[in-house]
Amino acid sequence: MHPRLTALRPARSRKEWDRLHAIRRSEIFDRYHPPATEWWVRYDPDHPDDRDPRHRALVQLLDGEVVGTCRVDALPGDRAALRLVAVDPRWRGQGLGAELVEAAEEVALGLGAEQLCLNAQPSVTEFYARLGFAPRAWAGSSRCRRSVPMAKPLRLGLAGGVPVAWVSASAGLSPKVA
């Protein structure tokens, strides 16, 4: 086992964008918004929200490999939204999801946010609750009646001073065998 380097930063290359889209598509849209159901949402890899300068489409890297993704959107009123959180199934259950959310909080702080908001699928509310999020309606939360709006106050005093890239060492991670 050797320490491994993880980072959460904006997607930079075509290859990283392709991985970001593939993870979102299979782990969020196919799972929660499949065709032929009332929840269907077509995934759009060219969605303008990904190019909005107030938004950060991020990849989580483990030793340079994309293993997770999320987006942090600056919102009006010192808030940010955490969206499209997903970890590749081969890498789940090893703390990477929690690490991704904690790194996203630093990104939100860097964007000047004092509160981080999200829309949780019912099956992951407990995951977010463990990380300090509580059910709370927020302006602009999803109109989807299945999702649970949640929010978390971020620690104060770092706004503007935190870089977008966030790096840490994680020991002993290994992919699951399919």
Q: Which of 27, 73, 105, 106 binds ligand COA (CB under 6 A)?
A: 27
Among 74, 96, 103, 107, binds ligand COA (CB under 6 A): 96
Binding to ligand COA by residue 105, rule CB under 6 A? Answer: no
Q: Cα–Cα–Cα angle for 8, 14, 18, nearest 5°?
A: 75
Structural contact between residues 40 and 29, judged by C-beta atoms closer than 8 angstroms: no
Region binding ligand COA by CB under 6 A among candidate stretches 71-79, 102-110, 124-132, 135-143: 124-132
Distance separating alpha carbons of residues 67 and 93, to the nearest angstrom? 12
Q: How far is the CB of 24 from ligand COA (least distance, A)?
A: 9
66 binds ligand COA (CB under 6 A): no
> Is there a contact between 129 and 98 (Cβ–Cβ < 8 Å)?
no
Q: Is 117 in the site for ligand COA (CB under 6 A)?
A: no
Q: What's the 3-state SS for 64-86?
A: CEEEEEEEEEEECCCEEEEEEEE
Establish how many alpha carbons lie within 13 A of residue 84's alpha carbon, considering only the half-sphere containing its beta carbon. 26
Shortest Cβ 55–ligand COA spacing (Å): 17
Q: Figure out which of the listed residues 10, 22, 33, 94 binds ligand COA, where binding follows CB under 6 A.
A: 94
Does the protein bind ligand COA through residue 132 (CB under 6 A)? no
